[in-house]
Amino acid sequence: MEKAITEPVSRDLPNSARLWLARQQSTVRPFLIGVVIAGLVNALAFICLAGLLATVIQRTLIDGQALSAQSGPAIGLIVAVAVRAISQAAQERFGQLASARVRQRVRSELLDEWAVQGPVQLAGRASATLANHWVEQVEALDGYFARYLPQQWLALLVPLTILAVVFWLDWLAALFLLIAAPLIPLFMALIGMSAERLSQQHVHEAGRLAGHFLDRVRSLTSLQLFGQVEQASAGVTHAAERYRAVTMRTLRVAFLSSAVLEFFASVAIAVVAMYIGFGLLGYIDFGPSPQLTLFSGLFVLLLAPEFFQPLRNLAQHYHDRAAALGAADALVGLSPAVDSEQTYRRVVSMSPRTDHVTVDRVKVGYSGRSAVLEDVSFSISRGDVVALVGPSGSGKSTLLSCLAGFIQPQAGHITLFGQAPGAEPVAWLGQRPFLIKGSWADNLRLIAPDADIAAMLTAVEAVGLKDVVAAQPHGLATPLGEGGRGLSGGQAQRLALARVWLIDAELVLLDEPTASLDPNSEAEVIEALLALARSGRTILIATHHPAIVAIANRTLRLHAGRLVDE
Ligand code: ADP
Ligand code: MG
């Protein structure tokens, strides 16, 4: 009970996470370059804006020109503002595109990987973890690709551009900026290091608190029986208190770091402003200061805050990087070691079609166990209805998983009408039907998204559920609970069986479809199976039930992983 649900986040993320991020980055490089270019255009437009503004003010106040005589700079100002707006939008848009591409790609990689692993291997992983990877971890990559990565470049290029302009105007002012600039990244890095450690601790504590609390709530009955409620609530209080302390420390560092950043930026800008002020008043006789004009002074002053802005933005997006690294660490193990597409294509090999399902000297073993199937060979013809019988644990489900392509045999060869398993859809029904929360129609459309009402009614009729549907208040649109709540076991199993009628899978694999049913429901399902058997499909049913064996025109008997007789 004491064990925390989450493992502590490792402090030194392995290089593989960084490499994985770099690999993702290389796929969206054009978009990232687009963001950087748009950001640069934005900065150049600002420089023009500041220059034009300083020109107008210089001409009006010092040179005594009328405002109306300055239509040229005025038009320039409007153009600069428009360019700025457009480039900002473009920057945002390219960033979103890059991030969306990456997330889409990662999700499709995950899907491919899961498809290759198949339900048998995936059964070893908690579905909550899979869902968390699919949704949250992938989403955590957003800020990194949309903002942080391009900002890394902009934080270098934009200050350099501004510095060049300021240098041209007044090299002493540029020198002030140049001295102040590295201080910011330096202090950010110092604070950032401890912030990173703290934010990992924060994530860790949050996970621990959640696990702790969930454990206590789950075992509330036992706690009450043993009179441990007081201690348990004290434990939760203690864990929450620790979480509070870490949160406060994280916040303190976050506030401190932005305060340091603001402080240095303000000091640097103030120094530049002071220099320009005294220079304009003629108090400074050093270097370029006697040549300062209102134009050059104002121009420099307007540019100074913009010089620090990209660095501040970078600091703001710094946590995006930490989040993405954390997510990458979780996702990197899931990305296929071998190219998943390759694995998939290997399965989808083109070969001439035949009329047989052949299993040739197939051997299967789960890791750390002796072989579950040994030297199994048989062939069935199109349209055969085959019963697969044998004691529990003899390998029936394993054989069906091989035929479905969920498991790769260690030796031997399987072809389904000339194709490799997994190349074409097969229909599968296990002991418990897979029904989702949704209407009858939703459940049927799960595997045949384009099925129309008429086809669904035909399918429902074929499994003997027509009267049941007719008795529902909204027919096929009547909602069902999760796992088919609201239906009897036999009805749920027949609803799942109705899906087989909606797809044109040639091979139908049924794994003990009546095993968890009462006699009445069993009879209903067997009735539906009989109709399926007459439909001309090739059907392989693992079963113990004599009535189902009677439907079949062939029987394969497995014993301890070997085919004993027919
Ligand atoms: P049946 O369906 O005939 O009852 P199975 O094919 O489910 O038999 O199982 C055959 C043998 O393989 C059993 O001894 C079972 O313990 C083992 N087995 C099944 N699935 C796994 C698995 N995922 N990991 C390890 N062993 C397994
Ligand atoms: Mg089984």
pLDDT tens column, 451-472: 888 999 988 888 888 888 888 8
pLDDT at 38: 96
pLDDT at 259: 83
pLDDT at 6: 36
Q: Closest residue (by CA) to atom 26 of ligand 1?
A: 366
Measured from the CA of 398, which atom of ligand 1 is nearest? 6
Confidence class for position 508, pLDDT limits 50, 70, 90: very high
Which ligand has its closest atom nearest to the C-alpha of 432?
2
Distance between Cα 395 and ligand 1 center (Å): 6
Element (H, E) at 374: strand 373-381
From 125, 369, 389, the mutation candidate for ligand 1 (largest count of ligand atoms within 8 A of CB) is 369
pLDDT at 203: 66
Q: Report whether pLDDT(33) > 90.
A: yes
When the pLDDT of each residue in the chain is averaged and rounded to a whole number, the result is: 84
Confidence class for position 2, pLDDT limits 50, 70, 90: very low
Taking the C-alpha atoms of residue 181 and residue 534, their distance in angstroms, rounded to an integer, is: 81
436 C-beta neighbours (distance < 10 Å), count: 13
Distance between Cα 343 and ligand 1 center (Å): 25
Q: Report whether pLDDT(483) > 80.
A: no
Distance between Cα 402 and ligand 1 center (Å): 12
Phi, psi of 387, deg, nearest 5: -95, 135
Taking the C-alpha atoms of residue 39 and residue 146, their distance in angstroms, rounded to an integer, is: 13
Which ligand has its closest atom nearest to the C-alpha of 558?
1
pLDDT at 423: 80
pLDDT tens column, 203-246: 667 767 777 787 888 788 888 999 888 988 998 899 889 889 98
Cα angle 143, 147, 153; round to 5: 140
| Residue 183 CB contacts under 8 Å (≥ 6 apart), including other chains | 264
pLDDT tens column, 317-359: 877 887 788 788 878 766 554 444 444 444 445 567 888 899 9
Closest CA to 140 of 365, 325, 357, 410: 325
pLDDT at 351: 66
pLDDT at 475: 86
What does the DSSP assignment read for 152-202? Answer: HHHHHHHHHHHHHHHHHH-HHHHHHHHHHHHHHHHHHHHHHHHHHHHHHHH
Which ligand has its closest atom nearest to the C-alpha of 388?
1
Measured from the CA of 399, which atom of ligand 1 is nearest? 6
Q: Which residue has the higher pLDDT, 548 or 14?
A: 548
pLDDT at 449: 86
Phi, psi of 479, deg, nearest 5: -75, 150
Phi, psi of 411, deg, nearest 5: -145, 160
Cα angle 112, 114, 120; round to 5: 145
Q: Report whether pLDDT(413) > 60.
A: yes
pLDDT at 343: 45
Give the residue-averaged pLDDT of 173-183.
Answer: 86
Q: Is the CB of 199 under 6 A from ligand 1?
A: no
Taking the C-alpha atoms of residue 385 and residue 563, their distance in angstroms, rounded to an integer, is: 17
108 C-beta neighbours (distance < 10 Å), count: 11
Q: Is the CB of 401 under 6 A from ligand 1?
A: no
For the chain, the distance separating the N- and C-terminal CA atoms, rounded to the nearest angstrom, is 51
pLDDT tens column, 138-159: 888 899 999 999 999 999 999 9
Give the residue-averaged pLDDT of 87-100.
Answer: 95
pLDDT at 430: 84
Taking the C-alpha atoms of residue 300 and residue 176, their distance in angstroms, rounded to an integer, is: 11
Distance between Cα 113 and ligand 1 center (Å): 23
pLDDT at 220: 85
Distance between Cα 435 and ligand 2 center (Å): 20
Q: Is the CB of 398 under 6 A from ligand 1?
A: yes
% pLDDT > 90, the chain = 27
Q: Closest residue (by CA) to atom 21 of ligand 1?
A: 366
Q: Which residue has the higher pLDDT, 351 or 551?
A: 551
Q: Is the CB of 395 under 6 A from ligand 1?
A: yes
Q: Report whether pLDDT(299) > 60.
A: yes
Confidence class for position 44, pLDDT limits 50, 70, 90: very high
What does the DSSP assignment read for 86-101? Answer: HHHHHHHHHHHHHHHH
% pLDDT > 70, the chain = 92
pLDDT at 5: 35
Q: Report whether pLDDT(202) > 80.
A: no
List, in sequence order, the alpha helices (H) in 369-437.
Answer: 396-404
Taking the C-alpha atoms of residue 514 and residue 387, their distance in angstroms, rounded to an integer, is: 13
Phi, psi of 385, deg, nearest 5: -115, 110
Distance between Cα 372 and ligand 1 center (Å): 7
C-beta separation of 435 from 475 below 8 A = no
Distance between Cα 556 and ligand 2 center (Å): 15
Distance between Cα 566 and ligand 1 center (Å): 22
Q: Closest residue (by CA) to atom 7 of ligand 1?
A: 397
Closest CA to 387 of 551, 560, 565: 551
Q: Report whether pLDDT(177) > 50.
A: yes
Element (H, E) at 151: helix 149-169
pLDDT tens column, 368-404: 778 888 889 999 999 899 999 999 988 899 999 999 8
Q: Which residue has the higher pLDDT, 251 or 309?
A: 309
pLDDT at 10: 44
pLDDT at 13: 55
pLDDT at 327: 81
Confidence class for position 536, pLDDT limits 50, 70, 90: confident
Q: Report whether pLDDT(9) > 80.
A: no
Phi, psi of 424, deg, nearest 5: -130, 150
Q: Closest residue (by CA) to atom 16 of ligand 1?
A: 393
C-beta separation of 520 from 490 below 8 A = yes
Confidence class for position 11, pLDDT limits 50, 70, 90: very low
Element (H, E) at 113: helix 71-122
Measured from the CA of 401, which atom of ligand 1 is nearest? 6
Distance between Cα 48 and ligand 2 center (Å): 74
Q: Name the residue type at position 86.
A: I
Q: Is the CB of 366 under 6 A from ligand 1?
A: yes
